[in-house]
Copies of this chain bind each other. A is one copy, B any other.
Amino acid sequence: MLTSVDPDVIRVLGDPLRLKIVTLLARETLCTTHLVEETGAKQTNLSNHMKVLREAGIVETEPCGRFTYYKLKPEVLAGLSEQFAELAASARTAAENKRACP
Residues of A whose CB lies within 8 Å of any CB of B are 2, 4-5, 7, 10-16, 19-20, 22-23, 25-31, 33-34, 64-65, 67, 69, 71-75, 77-78, 80-85, 87-92, 94-95, 97-99, 101-102
Contacts and interface: CB of A to CB of B under 8 A. Distances in A.
Chain A contact residues: over half helix, strand or loop, or mixed?
Answer: helix
Contacts of A12: 14
B7 A101 contact: no
Chain copies in complex: 2
A26 to B, nearest CB: 4
A4 to B, nearest CB: 5
A30 B26 CA distance: 38
B98 A29 contact: yes
